[in-house]
Amino acid sequence: MDSILITGGAGFIGSHLVRHFVNKYKQKYRIVNFDKLTYAGNLENLKDIEDFENYIFVKGDIQEYNKLEEVFYEYSIKSVIHLAAESHVDRSIENPMEFVNTNVVGTINLLNAAKKIWKGKSDHLFYHISTDEVYGSLGEDGKFIETTAYDPRSPYSAAKASSDHFVRAFYHTYGLPVIISNCSNNYGPFQFPEKLIPLIINNIINSKPLPIYGDGKNVRDWLYVEDHVKAIDMIFHNGVRGETYNIGGDNEKMNIEIVTLLCDIIDKKLNNIGSSRLLIEYIKDRPGHDRRYAIDSTKLKTELKWRPENDFSIGLEKTVEWYLNNKEWLASVTSGDYLKYYKKYYEK
């Protein structure tokens, strides 16, 4: 079996991707999940596949080049799907250097390892997962396309933009076979509750304030995580080397719309009609808060025939249902109790 290295595979998107590949390609691929297990990486997310023969977990940090090289050699890595990254904008404002070290230096380490070990083989692939935030902020009209000029506004998006540039540089300079995709905001099960949707769900469940930055009218395009994973699968197998693909959900929503929708959905499910909206609290806007993102996925839809399958209302219902049915997971990750699971990994 060919070995695929998935970095950040214990995180939100990464765990969905690992599970998808492990289950779908049992006889074709061996999946090596390489994850540092930070606060957002949780092996409980993958408990259902941990004993599968085509799945291997390796604890490691992409900032440690020697460890990466060791993994490349030990498992004869043929392809990389690179998701490992610091991804929370608020944290990047507090500590930009952490984002530079992980998102930029870590990516260069991976690129260098692939360049050295693959030695110009064209049947390999370095697939880099990025974000729409690298494009900056939109006005009321228009959408990001693959050729939109980069204009990052936060330390997070600046670090991701830099990593994108390095991936392209390795393609043009060294001939490393690469693909990049830039996605819109993901949502769904297993997302750590620092991001908007799981944060609001968790706060409603616990009757805590629902914080809204500024006037709440910042717009994002929302992509259900399983739709994103299927797009990654399609791009991985059929995408053209050296190309970039935008992945969007065709679901533009204002933040305040998301919050009120969640209030109404959860109140209905918990028979608390009208009470959750009272928890909404407007707070000072975040520095450099981009007003609007919107992804144009025409290239992906036209060339690779991908379409998002989950309408936002359906995806949001499924997401809420999952969190309400998995309150123990939610309480565990917010309290840090997940550290007691797989202790041998977390204590290393």
Residues marked as catalytic: 132-133, 156
Beta bridge mates, 56? 32
Write out the two tokens for 72.
């490349």
- Is residue 165 within 8 A of residue 156, CB to CB? The reply is no
> Which helix H or strand E contains 5, and what residues bound it?
strand 2-7
For the chain, counts of helices (H) and of strands (E): 13, 12
Among the listed residues 298, 310, 300, the one whose alpha carbon sits nearest the alpha carbon of residue 187: 310
The pairing of strands 125-131 and 77-82 is: parallel
Cα–Cα dist 321/245, whole Å: 31
Beta bridge mates, 3? 30, 77
